[in-house]
Amino acid sequence: MARYQAGDFAAATALIDRISPQLHRFFAAQFASRTDADDLLQETWLRIHRVRHTYRQGEPVLPWFYAIARRVRVDHYRKSMRIRAREERLAQASSPSASPEQAGRAHELEALLAPLSDSQREVLEMLKVAGMSLEEVARATSSTVGSVKQKVHRAYKKLRQKMGSTMLKKGPSED
């Protein structure tokens, strides 16, 4: 990263080749569309390029990358919600009797993580999907290690409760 900051674009290429798969998985875990994940990855690298001068040498680079990726994802979500709200208003204005179709096409992981808050889901993804340490997740989310531990603990507790209630509904013979 220090070489990239100094203008060595071979170092930039090496960083992109090394970090892109992890960042792509980070986005793909949230979005069903591979195209969205690709677009968010590209936007992340554009932002990294624009703000590369803000990286402090000697600090771990992975949490810095994930903090930028997280902001890109949040910005994308906000933008998509604004667009969706506008589209719904237009659809309602043009045909008030039309009901929106909401198909349950979510992946099993998305369904499992659905009861979690966005922050809990994000922390779990960073820890388990991206393989980041508690310290790296804390740095990427601008929080403390204790806060990250608390979010993870609460997320696990929610997941255990959901899985327990699902198992009770299915019954022991249906597994």
For the cut 90, the answer to whether the pLDDT of residue 19 exceeds it is yes
pLDDT attached to residue 52: 92
For the cut 60, the answer to whether the pLDDT of residue 102 exceeds it is no
State pLDDT tens for residues 37-51: 999 999 999 999 999
* Secondary structure, 3-state, the chain: CHHHHCCCHHHHHHHHHHHHHHHHHHHHCCCCCHHHHHHHHHHHHHHHHHHHHHCCCCCCHHHHHHHHHHHHHHHHHHHHHHHHHHHHHHHHHHCCCCCCCCCCCCCHHHHHHCCCCHHHHHHHHHHHHCCCCHHHHHHHCCCCHHHHHHHHHHHHHHHHHHHHHHHHHHCHHHC
pLDDT band at 169 (very low <50, low <70, confident <90, very high): low
Q: Which domains does the chain have, with CATH numbers?
A: 1-97 (1.10.1740.10), 105-175 (1.10.10.10)
pLDDT band at 96 (very low <50, low <70, confident <90, very high): very low
State pLDDT tens for residues 116-158: 888 888 888 888 877 888 988 888 888 899 999 999 999 999 8
